[in-house]
Structure 1
Amino acid sequence: MLVRALDVPGLAMGLSEPMLCNDMMGWRWRGADRRQVAAVLDASLALLQRPFGPGEAVVVKPSNIFNPLIQAVMALRPESRALLLYAPLPVFLASVARKGLWCRLWARELLEGQLREGGVELGFGPADFFRQSDLQVAAVGWLVQHRQFGQIARALGPARVATLDSETLTAAKPEHLRALTRHFGLELSPALEQAMLANPALTSHSKFGQAFSAEDRAAEQDFARRAYGDEIDKVHVWALEVARVNGIALDLPHPLSL
């Protein structure tokens, strides 16, 4: 939603999950030399950062399998700035449960990638994940990503990295969009601001395109709570204990300032 809303001629060009980012991770996982990865990543960023219109910024929303390369990207482009956007853990668990089999499988694929990167250090052995439910696996992936987001935000500081959760964003979309343009250093004239806030992305489903209101979103969340509430609650409590034992803070530093 955010990358589409910022895709306004004269302001910025948005790229949502460009395949080039996924290809970089696939090449890395197939055993590419790390020095070659850095050189090809630099060339890839040079391609991605070219706007279609003069004077426009480029805003890239990569797939989260690209997360292990975030700090490399920020180092290669020291002028770049990032927003780390996430759903609160219970909201995320409800979303995985509600979306059904394909999303539960996606959560396992996410964890598979994190295991390849060696970032899952939570006290579990390889066999433990076979004994965990789909939502437990999803929670592990969320915790690994959340710890990584916290590390990135603390390492790079508030001038370069801001954090934001989905519920805070959806409660005040215009205010946070304006704040995000400031964080990204975009010059927002009254006409560009009007075009941005009138973008259909703000009132449509981010994946399927149909009209989608705050009430529709609340109804989806209510359905998930009614259908899977017991499972969500139990896994949430379990995940909070995993976070406590491993020192993972649930509140990320440098929230996007209004």
Structure 2
Amino acid sequence: MADSALLSSDPYWIPHRIDLKRGRVEFLKLPPQAFSGASFLADYTPETAVDSATVSLDELVAMQPETGQLHFIFHTAFCRSTLLARTMNINGVSVGMSEPGIIASLANAGEAGTRFIKPCLMLLARARINADAAVQAVFVKPTNHANRLIPTLMHALPEAKAVLISNSLPDFVKAVNRKGLPGRRWARNLYLEVQSYAPLDLGIDSRENFLLSDLQVAGLAWLLQRRWFEANISGPSGARIRSLDSDRFNESRAESLRAIARFTGLNITRAQTESAASSPIFRTHAKLGGNYAAIRRKGDLQSASGVFDEEMDMVGKWIKQIELQAGLGEVWRKAILPEI
């Protein structure tokens, strides 16, 4: 067992995984450059054993770290959310954390993990220094598989703001298709997952569910996530939530960053937003590294076909009908970040 006082005071020791059966939580010590790296923090492997430590859950709850502001970036996947989280690593302004493992671990723990959510968030929010200046806020992007926790996370930190970033239905389904069979299985799993906590009655039985095509299911997974986002915008924390379109973010990077700064109360200069918006990470694949444009072209060529285009057109019209019947879309549009 480790020194809980050290883990509590050093912001580069972050909670990584919770083990309810053993009554412990694992911490990893991350170097500052890990936060702006291409890999998810959940996948980070310490170089040495001394950079991993555990404490009891009672010690976790008892910690009283010196914390700062924390805000969230929630997403529907394949929508530049990792890019946004990496972009928020701005010297002397903010730190961006892309998918720290602890959020997924807390989601997997179910109701039994609820008690430990706030202590873990307080640790992620600890005050930091970068570029010899105090960091004003930490932006945490959880995995979208933890989106069911959005109301709980927002309730745990009453001062936190959240940006919900998403892309268009065609872009989402194309991204699923580019990943082949693993992508299609992933989308089916996501659909079942979101239906379990934010169900939409489609008026079809289990047999008809089985008959849905992979792309239909992918479209529903996208729609259910957007519907869940709208429910949270309309919920108790709605005043602290804004939506952001992925393409709009990419096309108006500096303006988007300034809008996020205004919304979250960051003190940032125009020069800092312009510098962040022109960062080389926009030319690099956020998850794989390497040239983004080349990797994207290769994926598009490998997955393109007339059959896919025809089915995508049919799926788009089908999802649009469901969206209209369910009255979706208006809440999302009203919550778009201002002046982007």
TM-score, length-scaled by structure 2: 0.67
SS in 1 for 2:109: helix
1:243, CA displacement in angstroms?
1.9
User: How far apart are residue 177 of structure 1 and its match?
Assistant: 1.7
Q: 1:225 to 1:250 in 2, by over 3 A?
A: farther
What aligned pairs does 1:108-257 form with structure 2 within 5 A after superposition? 108-117=188-197, 119-156=199-236, 159-189=239-269, 192-213=272-293, 226-227=305-306, 228-249=308-329, 252=332, 253-257=334-338
Corresponding residue for residue 31 of structure 1? none
TM-score (norm 1): 0.86
Give the equivalent residue in structure 1 for 2:122. Answer: 46
User: CA shift at 1:13, angstroms?
Assistant: 1.0
Give the Cα separation in 2 of the matches to 1:10 and 1:96: 37
Decide whether aligned partners of structure 1 residues 45 and 157 sit closer, same or farther in structure 2, where only a CA change above 3 A counts: closer
Percent identity of paired positions between Structure 1 and Structure 2: 30
Aligned to 1:14: 96
* Higher RCO, 1 vs 2 (CA within 8 Å, ≥6 residues apart): 1
What is the count of residue pairs matched by the alignment?
251
User: Any conservation in 2 of the 1:9–1:56 contact (CA below 8 Å)?
Assistant: no
Partner of 1:85: helix, strand, or coil? strand
Structure 1 residues 93-108: aligned runs within 5 Å:
93-108=173-188
Q: Is contact 1:161-1:254 (8 Å) kept?
A: yes
Contact 2:285-2:295 at 8 Å conserved across structures: no
The question of whether the paired residues in 2 share the 8 Å contact of 1:16 and 1:61 is answered with yes
Q: 1:221 to 1:168 in 2, by over 3 A?
A: farther
Counterpart CA distance in 1 for 2:146 and 2:323 is 23
Looking at secondary structure, tell me which structure has more strand per residue.
Answer: 2
User: What is the deviation of 1:9?
Assistant: 2.6
Q: What's the offset of the Cα at 1:157?
A: 6.9
Alignment CA distance shift 1:218-1:87 (3 Å): farther
Q: Which runs of 4+ in 1 moved over 4 A?
A: 156-159, 215-227
How big is the shift at 1:221?
6.0
* Contact 2:99–2:141 (CA under 8 A) maintained in structure 1: yes
Q: Deviation at 1:131?
A: 0.9
Which residue in 2 is equivalent to 1:23? 105
Q: CA deviation at 1:75?
A: 1.5
C-alpha distance 222-233 of structure 1, shift in aligned 2 (>3 A): farther
Q: Contact 2:166–2:244 (CA<8 Å) still a contact in 1?
A: yes
The Cα shift of 1:81 comes to 0.7
* Unpaired stretches in structure 1, ≥5 consecutive residues: 29-33
